[in-house]
């Protein structure tokens, strides 16, 4: 279905990544946002809180990020598309109710504009060190989807996809921005509303008598009933059966959690998304994401000038990780080079998926800045020897 034009600021704009992200959410049909101020993400909610009244959206500034995430999960049960926005320290607090969203199968989107960490770290400066936290941060086993925009335009475009994916799979979707992408200002083209395809909440067509909130009939994703529609359903963060009732047993755990995991794993081929540049025939493949992809672009060109056959695989969706593609490339190339603004996170995934067929070389940066392209070139030259 096409999106509600009320949220779409059609035209060419000069926006920073945070504003573009906010515009993307509104264009995607998001109408409830709960947030707590944190640098470098606050501009997203500043933008939304200004524009929301004109489109019937509700913004509330909560008392902390625990509350923001809880409010978002609650609001989503009215069928409203919901968003919260934060950075590392707040992301840590949100983990509790991200787990609840995963367990209750509640669609929502969480933006993390990454800054340097750990702890308070570098509030105003870039980091990419929350990538593993996005995947594993809440306790227990679950799967989710994480996207990594590399520009304000992508912050807008991918936001639409983030909301759509959260609806399709009924999961919390992580939107892994970074301070550079959040604060860089570039041209952002926002299409007409009738050019924006959105996925509405899949409301059940069953009667309240037949409806069970977690019955999937052999599928992966249950139908949704909104609060107030007369279904009188129950949902819980406890391990539950298809009635949504808690059942404390290994059998119920297996039924419940296996489906949470496999609704993503079995659909990973459809979900994974990356962009290749000169990967075919390359000896060295850069695996990058977010702002680092743009720095690596220059490094790649510099290395090519020196005669190295180097390509780049840019992760647009980091989780689920493109395992098959990495393994396939590993058999054909000399090495992967993985620059990231952390001390080695996604490189571990590359190493795992390469299964020893090709080494994966980390080019780390602790945060507070981005790589010098020369540092990446050096790593490429070293790996190409």
Query: Would you count residue 369 as binding another protein (CB under 8 A)?
Result: no
Distance CA 112, CA 106 (A): 18
When the beta carbons of 54 and 189 are compared against another protein, the nearer one is 54
When the beta carbons of 32 and 169 are compared against another protein, the nearer one is 32
What is the chain's length? 385
Q: Out of 6, 193, 245, 348, which residue is the one contacting another protein (CB under 8 A)?
A: 245
Q: Which stretch binds another protein (CB under 8 A): 125-133, 175-183, 226-234, 354-362?
A: 226-234
Query: Would you count residue 166 as binding another protein (CB under 8 A)?
Result: no
Query: Would you count residue 13 as binding another protein (CB under 8 A)?
Result: yes
Q: Render the burial of 17-37: b for 16+ CB within 10 Å, e for the rest.
A: bbbbbbbbbbbbbbbbbbbbe
Query: Would you count residue 36 as binding another protein (CB under 8 A)?
Result: no
Q: Which stretch binds another protein (CB under 8 A): 70-78, 279-287, 300-308, 376-384?
A: 70-78
Q: What is the largest CA-CA distance in the chain?
A: 70
The site that binds another protein (CB under 8 A) totals a number of residues, namely 52
Q: Out of 1, 63, 139, 307, which residue is the one contacting another protein (CB under 8 A)?
A: 63
Query: Would you count residue 292 as binding another protein (CB under 8 A)?
Result: no
The H-or-E segment that residue 327 falls in is helix 323-330
Bridge-based pairing state of the strands 185-190 and 284-288:
unpaired
Q: Out of 3, 41, 80, 292, which residue is the one contacting another protein (CB under 8 A)?
A: 80
Strands (E), 87-230: 108-116, 122-126, 145-147, 172-178, 185-190
Query: Would you count residue 60 as binding another protein (CB under 8 A)?
Result: yes
Sorted by sequence, the CB contacts under 8 Å of residue 23 that are 6+ apart come out as: 9, 13, 15, 47, 156, 159, 188, 190
DSSP per residue, 162-176: HHHHHHHHTSEEEEE
Query: Would you count residue 190 as binding another protein (CB under 8 A)?
Result: no
When the beta carbons of 220 and 245 are compared against another protein, the nearer one is 245
Query: Would you count residue 187 as binding another protein (CB under 8 A)?
Result: no
Residue pair 363/347 in contact by the 8 Å Cβ criterion: no
Q: From the CB of 264, what's the least distance to another protein, in Å?
A: 22
Q: Out of 27, 30, 34, 272, which residue is the one contacting another protein (CB under 8 A)?
A: 34
Q: Out of 8, 25, 30, 72, which residue is the one contacting another protein (CB under 8 A)?
A: 72
DSSP per residue, 356-376: TSS-EEEEE--SSS---HHHH
Query: Would you count residue 151 as binding another protein (CB under 8 A)?
Result: no
Q: From the CB of 54, what's the least distance to another protein, in Å?
A: 7
Q: Which stretch binds another protein (CB under 8 A): 121-129, 147-155, 241-249, 270-278?
A: 241-249
Sorted by sequence, the CB contacts under 8 Å of residue 314 that are 6+ apart come out as: 150, 274, 275, 276, 277, 288, 289, 293
Q: Which stretch binds another protein (CB under 8 A): 57-65, 191-199, 279-287, 353-361?
A: 57-65
Between the alpha carbon of residue 341 and those of residues 36, 38, 122, 178, the distances in Å are 25, 20, 13, 10
Q: Out of 68, 164, 166, 292, which residue is the one contacting another protein (CB under 8 A)?
A: 68
Instruction: Point out which residues bind another protein (CB under 8 A).
Output: 13-15, 19, 31-32, 34, 46-47, 50-51, 53-54, 58, 60, 62-64, 66-68, 70-78, 80, 82, 96-97, 99-100, 226-238, 243, 245-246
């Amino acid at each position: 279905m096409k999106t509600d034009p009320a949220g779409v600021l059609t035209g060419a704009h000069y926006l920073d990544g945070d504003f573009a992200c906010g515009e993307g959410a509104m264009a995607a049909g998001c109408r409830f946002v709960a947030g707590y101020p944190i640098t470098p993400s606050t501009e997203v909610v500043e933008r939304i809180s200004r524009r929301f009244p004109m489109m019937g959206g509700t913004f509330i500034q909560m008392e902390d990020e625990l509350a923001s995430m809880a409010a978002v999960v609650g609001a989503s049960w009215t069928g409203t598309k919901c968003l919260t926005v934060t950075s590392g320290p707040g992301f840590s607090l949100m983990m509790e109710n991200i787990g609840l969203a995963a367990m209750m199968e509640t669609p929502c989107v969480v933006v993390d504009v990454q800054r340097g960490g750990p702890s308070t770290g570098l509030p105003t400066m870039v980091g990419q060190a929350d990538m593993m936290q996005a995947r594993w941060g809440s306790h227990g086993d679950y799967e989710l989807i994480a996207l990594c925009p590399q520009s304000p335009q992508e912050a807008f475009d991918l936001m639409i996809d983030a909301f759509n994916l959260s609806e399709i799979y009924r999961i919390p979707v992580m939107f892994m921005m970074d301070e550079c992408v959040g604060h860089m200002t570039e041209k952002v083209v926002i299409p007409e509303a009738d050019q924006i395809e959105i996925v509405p909440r899949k409301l059940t067509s069953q009667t309240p008598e037949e409806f069970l909130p977690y019955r999937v009939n052999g599928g992966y994703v249950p139908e949704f009933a909104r609060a107030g529609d007369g279904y009188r359903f129950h949902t819980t963060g406890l391990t539950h059966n298809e009635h949504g009732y808690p059942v404390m047993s290994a059998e119920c755990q297996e039924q419940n959690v296996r489906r949470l995991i496999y609704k993503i794993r079995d659909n990973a081929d459809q979900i994974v998304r990356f962009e290749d540049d000169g990967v075919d025939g390359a000896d060295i493949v850069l695996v990058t994401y977010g702002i680092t992809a743009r720095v690596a672009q220059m490094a790649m060109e510099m290395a090519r000038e020196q005669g190295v056959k180097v390509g780049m695989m840019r992760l647009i969706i980091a989780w689920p990780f493109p395992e098959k593609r990495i393994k396939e490339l590993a058999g054909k190339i000399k090495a992967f080079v993985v620059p990231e603004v952390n001390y080695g996170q996604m490189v571990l995934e590359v190493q795992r998926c390469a299964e020893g067929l090709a080494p994966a070389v980390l080019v780390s940066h602790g945060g507070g800045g981005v790589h010098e392209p020369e540092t990446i070139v050096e790593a490429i030259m070293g790996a190409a020897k």
